[in-house]
Amino acid sequence: MSLASFFMSAVLQQSTPVQPAPQAYLSVSNVEVIYDHVILVLKGVSLQVQEGRIVALLGANGAGKTTTLKAISNLLRAERGEVTKGWIEFRGERIERLTPNQLVRKGVVQVMEGRHCFQHLTVEENLLTGAYTRGNADLRADLEKVYRYFPRLKDRRKSQSGYTSGGEQQMTAIGRALMARPKMILLDEPSMGLAPQLVEEIFEIVKDLNTKEQVSFLLAEQNTHMALRYADYGYILENGRVVMDGEGKSLAQNEDVKEFYLGFSSGDRKSFRDVKSYRRRKRWL
């Protein structure tokens, strides 16, 4: 290469604009949560959700998954909890001091663990409560959209929610969130108490909502196998800290994740007596 060509190449490289990294849709940075002014639950949790993606928050019971979701949705105060450090942004705006209804108006809706349907209301009345922040808007088109995704709810729309199955109540809870026209849904333990076939049906609907309605999801789940089948990205929590993160497919192939969360081991087959005393140390401890 001639000297002139070298300098021309250098000039072209300098003049080529560098594409900025995409801004996170939801950003949680170094968040600490304390209950009753003394119980430290989250210890510097950081995570990001890009627009249009499904992100899984994984870990055992008590790891801090639900607390993380409630820190984002601002439901901690009802349980005497508060964010004492760090910050949370949605679409570039700080949200940790907003009220829950203000956050719903901005497009962030949480589906609580255990469904929490209004037992004395019909399925359709439950769905309509999800549009409360929208005032007197025409809701028929939104109801029909929910019924397209959950045809079973259309058949049960006049039934009291307390007399529907656990799977139908989970569908009602997600449909109720959809009525608020969310940009992001925080989904807490959608598989809890459901048969495997229903769990797969729920996750397929979540995938459809993500693809067709462009709803982003942050879901907390103990069913690691199912979550990583559908998640674009995952974070693993232990004792209030993020100990591992990565693309969903990559985490599903990680040996530590396989052993400690999926029940698989790459080592030699062990007898029951060996398994009782076998405890390989987690690499992140």
Q: Which two tokens stand for residue 62?
A: 């008590």
pLDDT-derived band at 53, boundaries 50, 70, 90: very high
pLDDT of residue 257: 87
Burial tier of 158 (Cβ tally within 10 Å: 0-12, 13-18, 19+): exposed
Residue 1's pLDDT band, with cuts at 50, 70 and 90, is low
Average pLDDT, whole number, for the chain? 86
Higher-pLDDT residue of 124 and 262 is 124
Model confidence pTM above 0.75: yes
Question: Token match 């199912």: residue?
Answer: 226
Say what the alpha-carbon torsion angle 205, 198, 57, 22 is, to the nearest 10 degrees: -10
Calpha distance 122→53 (Å, rounded) = 32
Structure tokens, 36: 């009753």
Q: Answer whether 259's CB lies under 8 Å from 252's CB.
A: no
Question: What domains, with CATH codes, occur in the chain?
Answer: 21-107+182-265 (3.40.50.300), 119-180 (no CATH)
- Write the pLDDT tens digit of every residue in 145-173: 999 999 999 999 999 999 999 999 999 99
Which position has the higher pLDDT, 2 or 244? 244
Q: Would you say residue 11 has pLDDT above 70? A: no
CB 277 within 8 A of CB 81: no
Q: What is the pLDDT averaged over residues 224-235? A: 94
